[in-house]
Chains A and B, each alone.
Chain A
Amino acid sequence: MEKKMKTKVIVFLLIVAPSLLFGQSQIRKCIICHQKPDIHKVMPTGIERPVYVDKKILKSSVHNTLKCQDCHVDVTSIPHQGLKIGRVNCARCHFNGNNLGAPNSPMYAQFWASIHGKKVRAGDPKAPHCQSCHGGHNVFKPSDPKSTIYKKNIPLTCGQCHKKELHDYSGSVHGVAILQKGILNVPVCTDCHGKHDLYSSDMSISHTSKQHVPDTCKSCHDNYSLMRKFKLTTDQADTYTQSFHGIALRLGEKTVANCTSCHGTHTIRKQDDPKSSVYPANIPKTCGKCHKGANENFAKGKIHLNPENRDSGLVYYISNFFFWLTSLTMLALFIHIFLDLRRKLKEKKETKEMDK
């Protein structure tokens, strides 16, 4: 027993303790300077950048077991005046197939094909890197409300650069719901645009391309149980698909309206909101974008009309009338032709027998 105990103590002293102490001492050493709130560095361009590190946040982040140098590999000496210290390269651990404890996912590669990744590769200084969205020392799981990519925080994260879009979104029905009412079932930026698979709307593979917009909206608006929570129906999705606009778009027409052509994108509001593009008084202007001469008569009647729905009034009854008229006509003609053919075959048989 004593021997075993001894070996354990030796192993602890020789291997575990130094690594723990070293790790701790690394952070401890760095933090001596970097915990000062006003610490900053001067970039080669002359711009001052804060390099303050909140130890508490770092210790509660997903990277709490890492040492400073695990990420900041080019900081090789303290102090580091004169050293060229670049941006942290997350891909050292975050690549698909890693065994370093980082989650394995194909999305790391997706980023480089995305519009952001392309701009980074092209050397655009404004293009976002991993840490622009996920944070530097404050990386938390997406489900953690402290995370910059927690659902409710995503609009603010994207809005750091996309200021106009954030402003428009904040007033929209989706934005008000999540930002003011805290309803998490509504779409934020990434739900429509994608996360790492984010492309320019001009590209056909984009979730927000002309052809893909209906599918993107349908991912929620075709979900009956979700829509019922908001006292909405899935009729809008169905009727669009069956409408001329929907059919033409599906069959490759590029000039027809999709959801956003009428409802807007970041500015989507309820139909009874006077600021909404589909508010009855605004219909002439909205339809008029494509249909010259659109006037207030365009708003008389339902746009997302489902003839099979009783709410459609007269159209429902006319449609039903035609359904029965057509069915009965078809039935009558089939019976007529069947009986007539039978009669004709009989006649033929009789004349043959008479000939014999």
Chain B
Amino acid sequence: MTENKTIVRFTLNERIQHIVAMIAFIVLFLTGFALKYSDNSVSGWLIQLLGGMENRSSMHYEGGILLIAVGVYHILYLLLTVRGRDQLRRLFFHTSDWKAFCVSFTHIFSSKRPDTPHGRFTTRQKLQFWLVMGGSLSMGVSGLLIWFHDETMSLFSKWFWDFLFILHSHGAMLVFLVIVLWHLYDIHLREAFPMDNSWLSGRLSLERLKQEHSLEYQELMAAGQIDGEEDEN
């Protein structure tokens, strides 16, 4: 009777980190794209709603501080806590991920997703994690340098600042695509429409654990953690 039973996939701390990052991303996307696509009437309306350009800028800075803060916290969490280090170890790519990646292409038109066995994180989840981390890092660094434009231009040059601006502006679109198009579809919507609520409850059913993360299921079974410690839903 595994279908009624769930395990804790994300701790409360991890869920709060996710929610804070989400809020930061929403604020940054709204205030950022309002500037990038300022020709659009919706952008003009949004900026007026936020109280003008100056408020838009400060909100973007605040969103940036929030994202950098949660990013730094997350890096410390991954490096300094026992659970964090364990998660980080499981986030690295292995040769099996490369195989899974290749298999996904050979099965691209097949009617079933390939049954590649996955551990705690699937290849797609690992890829999304590293893309969002890398994207946030480059956006954070370029964002800070653009924020302190006078100092950046004095220290480096105008053309370096132009380069940063292009990086920040185009990079934002890439991060947006990865998060909104891919991550939101793949993680939050695909398995449970209208929304997979594990990001709020932190729980995953044993049935889905067995299906999607078969290696982790076996690992937990072998450790005796599933039959002993799982909670009733």
Contact = CB atoms under 8 A, between A and B. Distances in A.
Interface of A: 244, 247-248, 250-253, 291-295, 297-303, 305, 307, 314-315, 318-319, 322-323, 325-326, 329-330, 333-334, 336-337, 339-340, 343-344, 346-347, 350
Most A CB atoms within 10 A — which of B52, B162, B178? B162
Contacts of A250: 38
Contact of A297 (B38, B111, B157): B157
A314 B53 contact: no
Given A303-B158, A318-B163, A325-B170, 9 more contacts: A251-B44, A252-B53, A291-B149, A295-B154, A300-B159, A301-B160, A322-B173, A326-B174, A344-B190
B153 A347 contact: no
Given A251-B44, A322-B166, A299 B158 contact: yes
Q: Tell me the dominant secondary structure on chain B's binding face.
A: helix
Contact of B155 (A248, A297, A333, A344): A297
A286 B55 CA distance: 26
A330 B180 CA distance: 11
Contact of B181 (A325, A330, A340): A330
21 contacts: A251-B48, A253-B54, A291-B153, A297-B157, A298-B157, A300-B159, A305-B162, A307-B162, A307-B166, A314-B159, A322-B174, A326-B170, A330-B177, A330-B181, A333-B177, A333-B181, A334-B181, A340-B190, A343-B111, A347-B111, A347-B112
Contacts of B113: 340, 343
A325 B171 CA distance: 10
B153 A337 contact: no
Nearest to A339: B108
A132 B224 CA distance: 101
A293 B149 CA distance: 10
Nearest to B107: A343
Given A318-B166, A346-B111, A253 B173 contact: no
A259 to B, nearest CB: 18
> Ordered nearest first, which 3 A-B pairs have the shortest CB separation?
A301-B159, A301-B158, A322-B170
Interface residues of B, number: 41
A236 to B, nearest CB: 16
A344 B174 CA distance: 26
Contacts of B185: 337
A251 B166 contact: no
A297 B47 CA distance: 32
B182 interface: yes
Given A318-B163, A326-B170, A326-B177, A343 B158 contact: no
B158 A337 contact: no
A294 B111 CA distance: 61
A112 B171 CA distance: 54
Given A251-B44, A253-B52, A339-B108, A292 B150 contact: yes
Contacts of B109: 339
B35 interface: yes
Contacts of A336: 182
A346 B159 CA distance: 52
Most B CB atoms within 10 A — which of A297, A298, A339? A297
B167 interface: yes
A214 B167 CA distance: 28
A251 B185 CA distance: 35
A298 B182 contact: no
Interface string B28-69: 000000010010000010011000111000000000000000
A300 B157 CA distance: 6
Contacts of A303: 158
B161 interface: yes
Contacts of A343: 110-113
Contacts of B167: 318, 322
Interface in B133-169: 149-151, 153-163, 166-167
